[in-house]
Structure 1
Amino acid sequence: MQTLNQLCRALRRFVLVLGFSSLAATSYTFATETPEQYPTRPIKIIVGFAPGGGSDFIARIVAKKLTEKLGQTVFIENKPGAGGNLGAEIALKAPNDGYTLFLAAASYTVNANLYSLPFDPIKDITPIAVLAAGPFIVSANPKTGFKTLPALVDFAKKNPGKLSYASAGSGSITHVGTEYFLSVADLDVLHVPYKGTSPALTDTVGGQVQMIFGTVASTLPHVSSGKLTALAVTTPTRLAALPNVPTVAESGYPGFDVLVWHGLIGPKGIPAPIVNKINQAIRESLSDEQTTAQFASDGLTARPDTPEQFASLIAEEIKRWGKLIKERNITLR
């Protein structure tokens, strides 16, 4: 019996030593990789929405280009849920070694003011780069007879509460972006939330609601076919695909600017050399004519900002939308 007990103790010691040796070997492998050597293995970009959407489209274009630039496979992992918050939480709780990144959309800065998040949307991130940005197209059902934004505004002022607008859901970026315009123009227009952009557009085209702030990719086909009338775009410059459609700023609201943007962030504390290497690869990718053309097909413009500029954008938009959400009493219901 004593011999058996001694044998068991010896075996346990062996297993422990083997385990510690394996851990040490693993730690050594990661410890010996310097930021200058990055990357030495595949990189994951988490997208907080389902495959096939706008965020997924942008992520896959960028992943392909980064794979070419960095010499390691960059792949997409879709983690939809909670308006993109699920994917953000997973990415931001990953090791800060640059191998797990998150594709943040403009809705990230809205969610920061509407959800109780398990992370700090500013302090717990490393901003890396803005990828692309574009406008909303302010559109109306043709049966309304509105040909310009001032015409819609004039009617809404004379008939408060008579018009309605569709959004992709309460608390969505389309909801908040529209409310921002209504606040600036001092209009009373009824909000009709839908479960996604597709049904919101369907009912706007059908005339159940009269107007919508829609992304270029989802709205332009309906404008081109005559099913919707484009009244304005929300960026400071006109959209190349709709050169005759003025901006909201040109339509009587100087300084008006609402962007639909996407960018890459990571967990807090990614070493600066790694951040700079990814940012540089993105900037080179965004200067590529093929990438520019792909973005343009979705109504987007490449926007190769620095990490510092992206950090400022996130902070400013969280503050901006937070103020609006309080003033307009916007909720998720």
Structure 2
Amino acid sequence: MLNRRQALSLGVLAAPAVLPAGALAQAWRPSRPIRLVVPFAPGGSNDIVSRLIAEPASQTLGQPIVIESRAGAGSVIGSEHVARAAPDGYTLLINSAHATVPAIVERMPYDPVNDFVGLAVAGFSPHALVVNPRFPAQNAREMVERLRTNPGQYNIATAGLGSGVHLAAELLRSTQRLQAEVVHYRGGGPSVVALVAGEAQVGTPTMASSIGQIRGGGLRALCVLAESRTPALPDVPSATEAGMTGLVHEEFFPIVAPAATPPEIVSALAAAFQAAIRQNGARLTEMAGVTPRAGFETPDQVKTLMTEMVARYSAILREAGVPKQ
């Protein structure tokens, strides 16, 4: 017969096997700050979205979440860093270009699906078609006509090779049959700065990185790259309304960890980030044009979304005749 000490010892050892799934989220608590890597320069959509959700998530976890910018190669540098990081819950990634990069970059140093485990999706947001206010076009069709009649004279700014902004720019060029030079910057923030300054004339930025300049008059929005208008910019026509056939593109914001991260750590991080997204849904929409959606609460659901979007973006670019680079 077991004595009390033996029984307690066996009970402690056996407890994790019989804990309900919800209790696992409380089984791991970080003991030091967590790094959330943004693979672009500060000021872009990922930087803005991450700062809106990092604080409430850190309150749940009991440790600060530090936003770390690791820009370069259209998000590849920062993403590879996280893929190779220790799977201990202290190095995470938010990257809206996670599914677009493999559609346009020939040699990837990591697998965008299998080298990561999904924690949450902060939301979805259409891109915008914008011009510098001095650009002589008041609507999308006038912009297309000017670029067609002046081939090679104007630049289209992107957030970097393989970024969602790059994909949207290539869609613009292919669907509207435009000859304009694509100029890659080190993130959404720098590309918007270039557009405001007139260094580039046309852009397809994310809503989060450009909405402040659009509302303030630093950029003129010709349409949002969606089939219907967005509540964040209700006065801006959709691509469909503007007559921009085929120019529909939205980004999404997956938050992921290295693939071998233990399940109890994944559960705790996922619960914290998903709660932060629910609490800040209105702020995400108002300040970044990002709308959270249900249905991405498990690692498998996030992985399925990433797999489907990689295939979708690849098909869009191949159909448009854009080769991998």
State TM-score, norm by structure 2: 0.75
Which of 125, 128, 139 in structure 2 is aligned with 1:137?
128
The residue type paired with residue 298 of structure 1 is A
Partner of 2:305: 313
Q: Which aligned pairs between 1:177-196 and structure 2 lie closer than 5 A?
A: 177-196=168-187
Aligned-pair CA distance for 1:114: 1.7
The question of 1:299 aligning with 2:303 is answered no
The residue type paired with residue 41 of structure 1 is P
Q: Which aligned pairs between 1:89-168 and structure 2 lie closer than 5 A?
A: 89-96=80-87, 99-112=89-102, 113-114=104-105, 116-168=107-159
Aligned-pair CA distance for 1:280: 4.1
Which of 21, 27, 34 in structure 2 is aligned with 1:38?
27
Higher relative contact order at CA 8 Å, sep ≥6: structure 1 or structure 2?
Answer: 2
- Aligned pair in 2 of structure 1 residues 52, 174: CA closer, same or farther (>3 Å)? closer
In 2, distance between residues paired with 1:226 and 1:103? Answer: 32
User: Which segment drifts farther, 238-247 or 298-307?
Assistant: 298-307
State whether residues 91 and 102 of structure 1, in contact with CA within 8 Å, keep that contact through their aligned partners in structure 2: yes
Q: Which aligned pairs between 1:1-333 and structure 2 lie closer than 5 A?
A: 36=24, 37-42=26-31, 44-47=34-37, 48-49=39-40, 53-70=44-61, 72-76=62-66, 78=68, 80-83=70-73, 84-96=75-87, 99-112=89-102, 113-114=104-105, 116-197=107-188, 200-253=191-244, 256-270=247-261, 275-276=266-267, 278-288=269-279, 290=280, 292-294=282-284, 296-306=286-296, 307=298, 308-323=300-315, 327-329=321-323, 331=325
User: Which segment drifts farther, 243-252 or 169-178?
Assistant: 169-178
Aligned-pair CA distance for 1:94: 4.0
Aligned-pair CA distance for 1:61: 3.2
The SS at the match of 1:138 is strand
State whether residues 58 and 295 of structure 1, in contact with CA within 8 Å, keep that contact through their aligned partners in structure 2: no
Aligned-pair CA distance for 1:125: 1.6
State TM-score, norm by structure 1: 0.73
In 2, distance between residues paired with 1:261 and 1:225? Answer: 25
Write out per-residue CA displacement over residues 258-288 of structure 1, whole angstroms, 9 at most, x where no aligned residue: 2232221122244556545544443333222
In 2, distance between residues paired with 1:209 and 1:52? Answer: 17
In 2, distance between residues paired with 1:123 and 1:110? Answer: 15
State whether residues 171 and 317 of structure 2, in contact with CA within 8 Å, keep that contact through their aligned partners in structure 1: no
User: Which segment drifts farther, 210-219 or 254-263?
Assistant: 254-263
The SS at the match of 1:142 is coil
Write out per-residue CA displacement over residues 96-154 of structure 1, whole angstroms, 9 at most, x where no aligned residue: 45x23522312222333426444322122212211133222211233443222123234
- Aligned pair in 2 of structure 1 residues 223, 216: CA closer, same or farther (>3 Å)? same
The SS at the match of 1:262 is strand
State whether residues 35 and 92 of structure 2, in contact with CA within 8 Å, keep that contact through their aligned partners in structure 1: yes
Aligned-pair CA distance for 1:80: 1.0
The residue type paired with residue 82 of structure 1 is G
Aligned-pair CA distance for 1:177: 1.5
Write out per-residue CA displacement over residues 133-182 of structure 1, whole angstroms, 9 at most, x where no aligned residue: 32222112334432221232344445544543222344443222111222
In 1, distance between residues paired with 2:295 and 2:187? Answer: 30
User: Which segment drifts farther, 61-70 or 130-139?
Assistant: 61-70
State whether residues 41 and 70 of structure 2, in contact with CA within 8 Å, keep that contact through their aligned partners in structure 1: yes
State whether residues 222 and 236 of structure 2, in contact with CA within 8 Å, keep that contact through their aligned partners in structure 1: yes
User: Which segment drifts farther, 240-249 or 55-64?
Assistant: 55-64
User: Which segment drifts farther, 79-88 or 211-220?
Assistant: 79-88
The SS at the match of 2:172 is helix
Unaligned runs of 5+ in 2: 1-13, 18-22
Unaligned runs of 5+ in 1: 1-30
The SS at the match of 2:204 is strand
The residue type paired with residue 148 of structure 1 is N
- Aligned pair in 2 of structure 1 residues 68, 291: CA closer, same or farther (>3 Å)? farther
State whether residues 36 and 93 of structure 2, in contact with CA within 8 Å, keep that contact through their aligned partners in structure 1: yes
Q: Which has the higher helix share?
A: 1
Larger Rg: 1
Write out per-residue CA displacement over residues 190-228 of structure 1, whole angstroms, 9 at most, x where no aligned residue: 323345545544443454543111233443343334343
In 2, distance between residues paired with 1:312 and 1:291? Answer: 23
In 2, distance between residues paired with 1:203 and 1:94? Answer: 33
